[in-house]
Amino acid sequence: MKKTAAAVVGLAAAGPLLLAVPLVVALDGSAQAACSTSTTQPVNNAAIAAQVKAILDGHGTGAVTVARLDDPADQVPNAKTIQATGVAMGVPARGQIVALATALQESGLRNLTYGDRDSLGLFQQRPSQGWGTATEILDPVHASTRFYEALEQVAGWQSLSVTQAAQAVQKSGFPGAYAKWEPLATALQQAIAPLLSPADGSTPAPAPSASGTGTGTVHVGIGGGCAADGGGTGFRIIPPGSVPAGYTIPADAPPKVRTAIRWALGQLGTDYQWGGSCADSHGPDPMGRCDCSSLMQQSYKAAGVTLPRTTYRQVKEGKPVSVDALRPGDLVFTEGTAAAPGHVGMYIGSGLIINAPHTGAVVDINTLADWKPQILAARRVVLPALCRDSSISALSHRFFAYFARGRRTGETTAPAAAVSLVHADGEDV
Protein backbone atom coordinates (compact mmCIF):
# COMPACT_ATOMS: atom_id res chain seq x y z
CA MET A 1 0.00 0.00 0.00
CA LYS A 2 1.46 3.33 -0.90
CA LYS A 3 2.24 5.46 2.13
CA THR A 4 1.63 9.01 0.97
CA ALA A 5 2.31 12.15 2.87
CA ALA A 6 -0.36 14.81 2.57
CA ALA A 7 -0.08 16.66 -0.69
CA VAL A 8 1.23 20.21 -0.68
CA VAL A 9 -0.69 22.33 -3.14
CA GLY A 10 1.29 23.00 -6.29
CA LEU A 11 4.56 21.47 -5.00
CA ALA A 12 6.22 18.13 -5.65
CA ALA A 13 6.45 15.87 -2.63
CA ALA A 14 9.80 14.39 -1.64
CA GLY A 15 10.81 11.03 -3.03
CA PRO A 16 11.06 9.93 -6.67
CA LEU A 17 8.11 7.56 -6.50
CA LEU A 18 5.74 9.66 -4.41
CA LEU A 19 3.00 11.23 -6.46
CA ALA A 20 2.34 14.89 -5.87
CA VAL A 21 -1.09 15.86 -7.15
CA PRO A 22 -1.18 19.39 -8.55
CA LEU A 23 -4.46 20.90 -7.50
CA VAL A 24 -6.63 23.43 -9.28
CA VAL A 25 -8.37 25.30 -6.50
CA ALA A 26 -11.88 26.46 -7.39
CA LEU A 27 -13.52 26.75 -4.03
CA ASP A 28 -16.63 28.49 -2.68
CA GLY A 29 -16.63 32.27 -2.57
CA SER A 30 -13.22 33.82 -2.28
CA ALA A 31 -11.52 30.87 -0.62
CA GLN A 32 -7.88 30.77 -1.56
CA ALA A 33 -5.37 27.97 -1.96
CA ALA A 34 -3.93 26.79 1.30
CA CYS A 35 -0.89 24.67 2.11
CA SER A 36 -2.44 22.27 4.59
CA THR A 37 -1.88 18.66 5.47
CA SER A 38 -5.14 18.04 7.28
CA THR A 39 -7.58 20.94 7.01
CA THR A 40 -10.67 20.23 4.95
CA GLN A 41 -11.77 22.85 2.46
CA PRO A 42 -15.33 23.53 1.29
CA VAL A 43 -16.25 22.91 -2.31
CA ASN A 44 -19.05 24.19 -4.50
CA ASN A 45 -21.24 21.10 -4.86
CA ALA A 46 -23.50 22.59 -7.51
CA ALA A 47 -20.58 23.65 -9.68
CA ILE A 48 -18.92 20.27 -9.32
CA ALA A 49 -22.16 18.49 -10.24
CA ALA A 50 -22.43 20.53 -13.44
CA GLN A 51 -18.79 19.96 -14.31
CA VAL A 52 -18.95 16.22 -13.63
CA LYS A 53 -22.04 15.85 -15.78
CA ALA A 54 -20.39 17.74 -18.63
CA ILE A 55 -17.34 15.48 -18.49
CA LEU A 56 -19.28 12.23 -18.30
CA ASP A 57 -21.59 13.38 -21.09
CA GLY A 58 -18.51 13.99 -23.25
CA HIS A 59 -19.19 17.69 -23.68
CA GLY A 60 -16.06 19.77 -23.87
CA THR A 61 -13.98 17.70 -21.49
CA GLY A 62 -10.85 19.59 -22.43
CA ALA A 63 -12.28 22.90 -21.23
CA VAL A 64 -14.10 21.65 -18.12
CA THR A 65 -12.46 22.05 -14.73
CA VAL A 66 -13.38 20.46 -11.42
CA ALA A 67 -12.45 21.92 -8.07
CA ARG A 68 -9.15 20.51 -6.78
CA LEU A 69 -8.66 18.16 -9.72
CA ASP A 70 -6.04 19.01 -12.31
CA ASP A 71 -7.03 16.47 -14.98
CA PRO A 72 -10.77 15.92 -14.51
CA ALA A 73 -11.26 14.32 -17.91
CA ASP A 74 -9.20 11.39 -16.62
CA GLN A 75 -10.00 11.57 -12.92
CA VAL A 76 -13.80 11.92 -13.04
CA PRO A 77 -14.33 8.71 -15.08
CA ASN A 78 -12.14 6.90 -12.54
CA ALA A 79 -14.32 8.28 -9.77
CA LYS A 80 -17.37 7.01 -11.61
CA THR A 81 -15.83 3.56 -11.88
CA ILE A 82 -15.13 3.47 -8.14
CA GLN A 83 -18.62 4.63 -7.28
CA ALA A 84 -20.40 2.39 -9.78
CA THR A 85 -18.55 -0.61 -8.40
CA GLY A 86 -19.76 0.30 -4.94
CA VAL A 87 -23.33 0.64 -6.20
CA ALA A 88 -23.08 -2.76 -7.86
CA MET A 89 -21.85 -4.29 -4.60
CA GLY A 90 -24.58 -2.68 -2.53
CA VAL A 91 -22.14 -0.47 -0.64
CA PRO A 92 -23.95 2.58 0.79
CA ALA A 93 -23.07 6.14 -0.16
CA ARG A 94 -20.90 6.54 2.93
CA GLY A 95 -18.67 3.68 1.80
CA GLN A 96 -18.43 5.13 -1.69
CA ILE A 97 -17.25 8.42 -0.19
CA VAL A 98 -14.61 6.56 1.82
CA ALA A 99 -13.37 4.89 -1.37
CA LEU A 100 -13.28 8.16 -3.32
CA ALA A 101 -11.43 9.98 -0.54
CA THR A 102 -8.93 7.12 -0.36
CA ALA A 103 -8.26 7.17 -4.10
CA LEU A 104 -7.92 10.97 -4.06
CA GLN A 105 -5.21 10.69 -1.42
CA GLU A 106 -3.42 7.60 -2.70
CA SER A 107 -3.31 8.30 -6.44
CA GLY A 108 -5.10 11.56 -7.13
CA LEU A 109 -7.81 9.42 -8.81
CA ARG A 110 -5.30 8.19 -11.38
CA ASN A 111 -4.72 4.58 -12.35
CA LEU A 112 -1.00 4.72 -11.69
CA THR A 113 1.38 2.12 -13.06
CA TYR A 114 3.96 2.92 -10.37
CA GLY A 115 4.18 3.75 -6.69
CA ASP A 116 6.05 3.14 -3.46
CA ARG A 117 7.64 -0.31 -3.69
CA ASP A 118 5.16 -2.41 -5.71
CA SER A 119 2.10 -0.19 -5.13
CA LEU A 120 -0.15 0.27 -8.15
CA GLY A 121 -3.45 1.65 -9.32
CA LEU A 122 -6.14 3.89 -7.92
CA PHE A 123 -5.71 2.72 -4.33
CA GLN A 124 -1.98 1.97 -4.55
CA GLN A 125 -2.56 -1.68 -3.70
CA ARG A 126 0.39 -4.06 -3.61
CA PRO A 127 0.54 -7.44 -5.34
CA SER A 128 2.93 -8.63 -2.64
CA GLN A 129 0.27 -7.96 -0.01
CA GLY A 130 -2.40 -10.08 -1.62
CA TRP A 131 -4.46 -7.46 -3.43
CA GLY A 132 -4.14 -9.28 -6.74
CA THR A 133 -1.72 -9.46 -9.62
CA ALA A 134 -0.34 -6.27 -11.12
CA THR A 135 -2.71 -6.66 -14.06
CA GLU A 136 -5.69 -7.15 -11.76
CA ILE A 137 -4.84 -4.17 -9.58
CA LEU A 138 -4.56 -1.97 -12.66
CA ASP A 139 -8.13 -2.94 -13.54
CA PRO A 140 -10.12 -0.21 -11.74
CA VAL A 141 -13.06 -2.55 -11.23
CA HIS A 142 -10.91 -5.18 -9.52
CA ALA A 143 -9.12 -2.56 -7.43
CA SER A 144 -12.39 -0.97 -6.33
CA THR A 145 -13.96 -4.33 -5.57
CA ARG A 146 -11.03 -5.38 -3.39
CA PHE A 147 -11.12 -2.06 -1.54
CA TYR A 148 -14.82 -2.41 -0.77
CA GLU A 149 -14.36 -6.02 0.28
CA ALA A 150 -11.66 -4.95 2.73
CA LEU A 151 -13.79 -2.05 3.99
CA GLU A 152 -16.72 -4.34 4.69
CA GLN A 153 -14.44 -6.50 6.83
CA VAL A 154 -13.81 -3.55 9.16
CA ALA A 155 -16.12 -3.96 12.15
CA GLY A 156 -18.42 -0.97 12.53
CA TRP A 157 -16.91 0.95 9.63
CA GLN A 158 -20.20 2.78 9.08
CA SER A 159 -19.72 4.49 12.45
CA LEU A 160 -16.15 5.56 11.77
CA SER A 161 -15.12 8.86 10.26
CA VAL A 162 -14.11 8.80 6.61
CA THR A 163 -10.42 9.03 7.45
CA GLN A 164 -10.69 6.33 10.15
CA ALA A 165 -12.45 3.95 7.77
CA ALA A 166 -9.94 4.62 5.00
CA GLN A 167 -7.02 4.12 7.37
CA ALA A 168 -8.46 0.84 8.62
CA VAL A 169 -8.17 -0.49 5.06
CA GLN A 170 -5.02 1.25 3.86
CA LYS A 171 -2.94 1.19 7.06
CA SER A 172 -1.09 4.27 5.88
CA GLY A 173 1.85 5.86 7.63
CA PHE A 174 -0.18 9.08 7.54
CA PRO A 175 -3.54 8.07 9.02
CA GLY A 176 -5.06 11.56 9.01
CA ALA A 177 -4.28 12.30 5.38
CA TYR A 178 -7.66 11.19 4.03
CA ALA A 179 -9.73 13.71 6.00
CA LYS A 180 -9.03 16.68 3.77
CA TRP A 181 -10.58 14.89 0.79
CA GLU A 182 -13.95 14.23 2.39
CA PRO A 183 -15.71 17.36 1.01
CA LEU A 184 -14.58 16.71 -2.56
CA ALA A 185 -15.28 12.98 -2.28
CA THR A 186 -18.77 13.78 -1.00
CA ALA A 187 -19.39 16.26 -3.82
CA LEU A 188 -18.22 13.76 -6.42
CA GLN A 189 -20.40 10.99 -4.97
CA GLN A 190 -23.46 13.23 -5.01
CA ALA A 191 -22.71 14.42 -8.55
CA ILE A 192 -22.17 10.95 -9.97
CA ALA A 193 -25.05 9.17 -8.20
CA PRO A 194 -27.88 10.42 -10.45
CA LEU A 195 -25.84 9.63 -13.54
CA LEU A 196 -25.80 5.95 -12.58
CA SER A 197 -29.58 5.67 -12.41
CA PRO A 198 -31.60 4.12 -15.25
CA ALA A 199 -34.13 6.36 -16.95
CA ASP A 200 -37.03 4.86 -14.96
CA GLY A 201 -35.52 6.00 -11.69
CA SER A 202 -35.06 2.54 -10.21
CA THR A 203 -32.07 1.35 -8.24
CA PRO A 204 -28.87 2.64 -9.82
CA ALA A 205 -27.30 0.07 -12.11
CA PRO A 206 -23.58 -0.29 -12.73
CA ALA A 207 -22.31 2.23 -15.19
CA PRO A 208 -19.01 1.90 -17.02
CA SER A 209 -16.56 -0.34 -15.18
CA ALA A 210 -19.10 -1.63 -12.65
CA SER A 211 -18.82 -5.09 -11.24
CA GLY A 212 -18.95 -6.99 -8.03
CA THR A 213 -21.71 -8.10 -5.77
CA GLY A 214 -24.74 -6.54 -4.21
CA THR A 215 -28.45 -5.95 -4.17
CA GLY A 216 -30.48 -4.89 -7.18
CA THR A 217 -27.76 -5.03 -9.79
CA VAL A 218 -24.85 -7.35 -10.50
CA HIS A 219 -24.44 -10.05 -7.87
CA VAL A 220 -21.78 -12.72 -8.01
CA GLY A 221 -22.94 -15.71 -6.05
CA ILE A 222 -26.56 -16.13 -7.13
CA GLY A 223 -27.85 -17.23 -10.48
CA GLY A 224 -27.64 -20.22 -12.74
CA GLY A 225 -25.26 -21.05 -15.52
CA CYS A 226 -26.38 -24.55 -16.45
CA ALA A 227 -30.14 -24.50 -16.58
CA ALA A 228 -32.10 -22.87 -19.36
CA ASP A 229 -33.17 -19.40 -18.27
CA GLY A 230 -35.44 -18.12 -21.01
CA GLY A 231 -34.90 -15.29 -23.42
CA GLY A 232 -34.76 -12.34 -21.07
CA THR A 233 -38.36 -11.38 -21.75
CA GLY A 234 -39.03 -11.11 -18.03
CA PHE A 235 -36.98 -7.92 -17.86
CA ARG A 236 -38.51 -4.57 -18.59
CA ILE A 237 -37.11 -2.26 -21.25
CA ILE A 238 -33.38 -2.04 -20.59
CA PRO A 239 -32.01 1.52 -20.86
CA PRO A 240 -28.84 1.64 -22.98
CA GLY A 241 -25.72 1.21 -20.92
CA SER A 242 -27.43 -0.19 -17.82
CA VAL A 243 -27.91 -3.55 -16.16
CA PRO A 244 -31.53 -4.61 -15.61
CA ALA A 245 -32.48 -4.77 -11.96
CA GLY A 246 -32.25 -8.29 -10.67
CA TYR A 247 -29.58 -9.54 -13.05
CA THR A 248 -26.93 -11.74 -11.41
CA ILE A 249 -23.63 -13.03 -12.72
CA PRO A 250 -24.18 -16.80 -12.57
CA ALA A 251 -22.27 -18.27 -9.66
CA ASP A 252 -21.96 -21.68 -11.29
CA ALA A 253 -20.36 -20.35 -14.45
CA PRO A 254 -16.63 -21.08 -14.71
CA PRO A 255 -14.47 -18.49 -12.93
CA LYS A 256 -12.97 -17.29 -16.20
CA VAL A 257 -16.45 -16.73 -17.61
CA ARG A 258 -17.48 -14.75 -14.53
CA THR A 259 -14.38 -12.61 -14.91
CA ALA A 260 -15.07 -12.01 -18.60
CA ILE A 261 -18.69 -11.06 -17.90
CA ARG A 262 -17.65 -8.75 -15.09
CA TRP A 263 -15.12 -7.02 -17.32
CA ALA A 264 -17.63 -6.65 -20.15
CA LEU A 265 -20.17 -5.12 -17.77
CA GLY A 266 -17.48 -2.63 -16.85
CA GLN A 267 -17.66 -1.17 -20.35
CA LEU A 268 -21.41 -0.53 -20.27
CA GLY A 269 -22.36 2.92 -21.48
CA THR A 270 -19.09 3.59 -23.32
CA ASP A 271 -19.25 4.73 -26.93
CA TYR A 272 -18.88 2.28 -29.80
CA GLN A 273 -15.90 2.82 -32.09
CA TRP A 274 -15.46 0.72 -35.20
CA GLY A 275 -11.91 -0.64 -35.17
CA GLY A 276 -11.40 0.43 -31.56
CA SER A 277 -9.16 -1.73 -29.40
CA CYS A 278 -11.37 -1.63 -26.27
CA ALA A 279 -8.13 -1.27 -24.33
CA ASP A 280 -9.26 2.02 -22.74
CA SER A 281 -12.96 2.43 -23.39
CA HIS A 282 -13.29 5.21 -20.81
CA GLY A 283 -10.31 7.19 -22.10
CA PRO A 284 -10.19 10.22 -24.39
CA ASP A 285 -8.83 8.38 -27.44
CA PRO A 286 -11.73 7.09 -29.56
CA MET A 287 -9.58 4.21 -30.79
CA GLY A 288 -9.36 2.92 -27.23
CA ARG A 289 -13.11 2.33 -27.24
CA CYS A 290 -14.83 -0.93 -28.12
CA ASP A 291 -16.30 -2.45 -31.21
CA CYS A 292 -18.14 -5.75 -31.04
CA SER A 293 -15.21 -8.10 -31.43
CA SER A 294 -12.69 -6.12 -29.38
CA LEU A 295 -15.17 -6.11 -26.49
CA MET A 296 -15.18 -9.91 -26.61
CA GLN A 297 -11.42 -10.08 -27.00
CA GLN A 298 -10.62 -7.77 -24.09
CA SER A 299 -13.27 -9.28 -21.81
CA TYR A 300 -11.74 -12.71 -22.17
CA LYS A 301 -8.22 -11.30 -22.04
CA ALA A 302 -9.07 -10.07 -18.54
CA ALA A 303 -9.86 -13.69 -17.71
CA GLY A 304 -6.63 -15.01 -19.19
CA VAL A 305 -8.25 -16.36 -22.35
CA THR A 306 -6.82 -15.32 -25.72
CA LEU A 307 -9.24 -14.60 -28.55
CA PRO A 308 -8.44 -13.35 -32.04
CA ARG A 309 -9.43 -9.82 -32.99
CA THR A 310 -12.17 -10.24 -35.60
CA THR A 311 -15.57 -11.91 -35.75
CA TYR A 312 -14.38 -13.95 -38.74
CA ARG A 313 -11.76 -15.63 -36.55
CA GLN A 314 -13.65 -15.62 -33.27
CA VAL A 315 -16.40 -17.73 -34.83
CA LYS A 316 -13.82 -20.50 -35.25
CA GLU A 317 -12.77 -20.50 -31.59
CA GLY A 318 -13.90 -23.02 -29.00
CA LYS A 319 -16.68 -25.39 -29.93
CA PRO A 320 -20.05 -24.80 -31.61
CA VAL A 321 -23.16 -24.83 -29.42
CA SER A 322 -26.86 -24.72 -30.09
CA VAL A 323 -28.70 -21.46 -29.57
CA ASP A 324 -31.10 -23.43 -27.38
CA ALA A 325 -28.24 -24.59 -25.13
CA LEU A 326 -26.41 -21.33 -24.48
CA ARG A 327 -24.47 -20.89 -21.28
CA PRO A 328 -22.97 -17.73 -19.80
CA GLY A 329 -19.84 -16.69 -21.66
CA ASP A 330 -20.88 -18.13 -25.02
CA LEU A 331 -20.27 -15.92 -28.04
CA VAL A 332 -23.24 -15.39 -30.32
CA PHE A 333 -22.84 -14.17 -33.90
CA THR A 334 -25.20 -12.30 -36.23
CA GLU A 335 -25.10 -10.51 -39.60
CA GLY A 336 -23.32 -11.83 -42.68
CA THR A 337 -23.02 -15.62 -42.75
CA ALA A 338 -22.31 -18.33 -40.20
CA ALA A 339 -18.82 -18.72 -41.64
CA ALA A 340 -18.12 -14.99 -41.80
CA PRO A 341 -20.39 -13.16 -39.34
CA GLY A 342 -20.29 -9.41 -39.00
CA HIS A 343 -21.33 -8.99 -35.37
CA VAL A 344 -20.80 -10.72 -32.02
CA GLY A 345 -22.09 -10.48 -28.49
CA MET A 346 -21.64 -12.42 -25.26
CA TYR A 347 -24.42 -14.34 -23.57
CA ILE A 348 -24.30 -13.43 -19.86
CA GLY A 349 -27.11 -15.61 -18.53
CA SER A 350 -30.69 -14.76 -17.56
CA GLY A 351 -31.58 -14.48 -21.23
CA LEU A 352 -29.32 -11.45 -21.75
CA ILE A 353 -26.55 -10.54 -24.21
CA ILE A 354 -23.95 -7.79 -23.84
CA ASN A 355 -22.49 -6.22 -26.97
CA ALA A 356 -21.06 -3.12 -28.60
CA PRO A 357 -23.75 -2.52 -31.24
CA HIS A 358 -22.78 0.06 -33.86
CA THR A 359 -21.58 3.60 -34.47
CA GLY A 360 -23.65 6.09 -32.50
CA ALA A 361 -24.57 3.54 -29.82
CA VAL A 362 -23.02 2.49 -26.52
CA VAL A 363 -22.08 -0.87 -25.07
CA ASP A 364 -25.36 -2.25 -23.81
CA ILE A 365 -27.43 -5.30 -22.92
CA ASN A 366 -30.16 -6.83 -25.08
CA THR A 367 -32.42 -9.82 -24.61
CA LEU A 368 -31.74 -13.17 -26.19
CA ALA A 369 -35.32 -13.12 -27.45
CA ASP A 370 -34.50 -10.08 -29.59
CA TRP A 371 -31.32 -11.66 -30.91
CA LYS A 372 -32.46 -15.22 -31.40
CA PRO A 373 -34.06 -14.89 -34.86
CA GLN A 374 -30.82 -13.37 -36.19
CA ILE A 375 -28.22 -15.64 -34.57
CA LEU A 376 -26.09 -17.44 -37.15
CA ALA A 377 -23.66 -19.24 -34.86
CA ALA A 378 -22.68 -19.65 -31.22
CA ARG A 379 -19.34 -20.72 -29.77
CA ARG A 380 -18.24 -21.81 -26.30
CA VAL A 381 -14.70 -20.64 -25.66
CA VAL A 382 -14.50 -21.75 -22.01
CA LEU A 383 -15.75 -25.22 -21.19
CA PRO A 384 -17.70 -25.31 -17.92
CA ALA A 385 -17.55 -27.98 -15.27
CA LEU A 386 -20.12 -30.68 -15.91
CA CYS A 387 -23.51 -29.50 -14.69
CA ARG A 388 -25.50 -31.81 -12.51
CA ASP A 389 -28.48 -32.25 -14.76
CA SER A 390 -30.08 -35.04 -16.73
CA SER A 391 -29.61 -33.64 -20.21
CA ILE A 392 -28.58 -36.10 -22.89
CA SER A 393 -25.23 -34.38 -23.36
CA ALA A 394 -24.44 -34.40 -19.63
CA LEU A 395 -25.52 -38.01 -19.16
CA SER A 396 -23.54 -39.20 -22.14
CA HIS A 397 -20.48 -37.32 -20.97
CA ARG A 398 -20.65 -38.94 -17.55
CA PHE A 399 -21.43 -42.37 -19.01
CA PHE A 400 -18.27 -42.38 -21.07
CA ALA A 401 -16.27 -41.06 -18.14
CA TYR A 402 -17.45 -43.99 -16.03
CA PHE A 403 -16.78 -46.40 -18.88
CA ALA A 404 -13.29 -45.01 -19.51
CA ARG A 405 -12.47 -45.24 -15.83
CA GLY A 406 -13.65 -48.85 -15.79
CA ARG A 407 -11.58 -49.67 -18.85
CA ARG A 408 -8.50 -48.39 -17.04
CA THR A 409 -9.15 -50.56 -13.98
CA GLY A 410 -10.63 -53.54 -15.81
CA GLU A 411 -13.60 -53.50 -13.45
CA THR A 412 -16.38 -51.80 -15.41
CA THR A 413 -18.13 -52.80 -18.60
CA ALA A 414 -20.42 -50.49 -20.54
CA PRO A 415 -23.59 -51.95 -18.92
CA ALA A 416 -22.02 -51.64 -15.49
CA ALA A 417 -21.12 -48.04 -16.23
CA ALA A 418 -24.74 -47.34 -17.08
CA VAL A 419 -25.89 -48.88 -13.80
CA SER A 420 -23.31 -46.88 -11.88
CA LEU A 421 -24.49 -43.74 -13.61
CA VAL A 422 -28.10 -44.30 -12.62
CA HIS A 423 -27.12 -44.74 -8.97
CA ALA A 424 -24.42 -42.07 -8.88
CA ASP A 425 -26.67 -39.60 -7.02
CA GLY A 426 -25.30 -36.63 -8.90
CA GLU A 427 -21.63 -37.36 -8.37
CA ASP A 428 -19.43 -35.62 -10.93
CA VAL A 429 -16.72 -37.68 -12.55
How far apart, in whole angstroms, are the C-alpha atoms of residue 236 and residue 93?
A: 26
Q: What DSSP element (H or E) covers 332?
A: strand 331-336
- Lowest-pLDDT range, 71-75, 141-145, 297-301, 395-399? 395-399
Distance from C-alpha of 34 to C-alpha of 41, rounded to nearest angstrom: 9
Spell out the residues 6+ positions from residue 83 whose beta carbon is closer than 8 angstroms to its own. 96, 99, 100, 188, 189, 192, 193, 196
Q: Percent helix, strand and coil across the chain, each rounded to 5?
A: 40, 10, 55
Q: What confidence category does residue 238 fall into, taking pLDDT thresholds of 50, 70 and 90? A: confident
pLDDT in the model for residue 236 = 59
55-69, 200-214, 243-257, 388-402: the lowest-pLDDT one: 200-214
In tens, the pLDDT along 304-325 reads 999 988 888 899 999 999 999 9
**Residue 117: which pLDDT band, with cuts at 50, 70 and 90?**
very high
Of 3-17, 242-256, 279-293, 384-398, the poorest mean pLDDT is in: 3-17
Residues 6+ apart with CB under 8 A from 298: 263, 277, 278, 279, 290
Q: Which of 16-25, 71-80, 128-137, 332-341 has the lowest mean pLDDT?
A: 16-25
pLDDT band at 382 (very low <50, low <70, confident <90, very high): very high
Task: Name the pLDDT band for 134 (thresholds 50, 70, 90).
Answer: very high
Structure confidence at residue 157 as a pLDDT band (50, 70, 90): very high
Higher-confidence position of 393 and 26: 393
Q: Kindly provide the b/e burial profile for residues 80-111, where b requires at least 16 CB atoms within 10 angstroms of the residue's own CB.
A: bbbbbbbbbbbbeebbbbbbbbbbbbbbbbbb
pLDDT at 339: 81
Query: Helix, strand or coil for residue 323?
Result: helix
* Predicted pLDDT at 342: 86
Greater pLDDT, 425 or 109 = 109
% of the chain exceeding 70 in pLDDT: 69
Is residue 177's pLDDT more than 60? yes
> What is the pLDDT, as a whole number, of residue 85?
83
Question: What's the pLDDT at 216?
Answer: 33
Q: 219-233 pLDDT, tens per residue?
A: 333 344 454 455 655
Rounded Cα gap, residues 220 and 257, in angstroms = 12
Output the pLDDT for position 234.
64
User: Residue 113 pLDDT more than 90?
Assistant: yes
Q: In what order do the strands lie in the sheet with 352-355?
A: 319-320, 377-380, 331-336, 341-349, 352-355, 364-367
Query: Roughly what angle, to the nearest 10 degrees, separates helices 72-89 and 93-107?
Result: 140
Lowest mean pLDDT across 13-27, 227-241, 405-419: 13-27
pLDDT of 230: 58
Specify the range with the lowest mean pLDDT, choosing from 63-67, 278-282, 389-393: 389-393
**How much is the pLDDT for 56?**
80
